[in-house]
Amino acid sequence: MTDKFCSQCGSANRLRAKFCIQCGRAFGRMQVKRQFCAECGTARKPHAKFCLQCGTAWAQSVAPEPPLQQPAPRGVVLPPFADLPLLDDEDARAETQIDPASAHPPSPLDEEPLIRRGGKTGIILTEKELARLRQQSERPMFIYTAKPLKRR
């Protein structure tokens, strides 16, 4: 339902709209039709009895609101994903089928046997494997070592 018109650009807006859909101007609580002086064209201030520019009494000189200017044309708005190429059904099926083996790179955790000591489970890694595992992991890791690690 378009019941409210923007005082800046004249576009129709929904009654509950807080901003104009065309120019973005905020709607106040009350939309008051502005009055302009017939002598000089100055906008009337609320509750003023005389024009602040030329001094003419408002009761005598009330001009209609000047015509609204058309807003400048804006860029073409495309729907989301409009720039992506359309796929045939066969292409889409081929892209959605993922080989489980290639989904994740091999991890030392998959290859090495687990060691259990004192209720804790782990694996033995070389320094090189440990560095590679740290680079691949996105989560923080808790590493227990037999010797202290060198700080960088």
| Beta strands per DSSP E along the chain | 2-5, 12-14, 115-117, 120-122
The confidence score (pLDDT) of residue 106 equals 59
Give domain limits for the chain.
Answer: 1-31, 34-67, 105-145
Averaged pLDDT, 115-140: 68
The confidence score (pLDDT) of residue 81 equals 67
Render pLDDT for 53-81 as a digit per residue (tens, 0 to 9): 888 887 655 555 555 556 655 666 666 66
Render pLDDT for 2-44 as a digit per residue (tens, 0 to 9): 467 777 777 788 888 888 888 888 887 555 566 778 888 887 7
The confidence score (pLDDT) of residue 27 equals 81
**Bridge partners for 26 per DSSP:** 19
Q: Look up residue 100 and give its two tokens.
A: 């489980």
Reported confidence tier of residue 116, pLDDT bands at 50, 70, 90: low
Find where tokens 């003023």 sit.
48
Taking the model in full, what pTM does it have? 0.23
Render pLDDT for 131-147 as a digit per residue (tens, 0 to 9): 787 777 766 666 655 55
Find where tokens 């509750």 sit.
47
Per-residue CA distances from 69 to 11, 49, 73, 76, 118 (Å): 11, 28, 12, 20, 80
The confidence score (pLDDT) of residue 18 equals 86
Q: Look up residue 90 and give its two tokens.
A: 């066969």
Averaged pLDDT, 106-115: 55
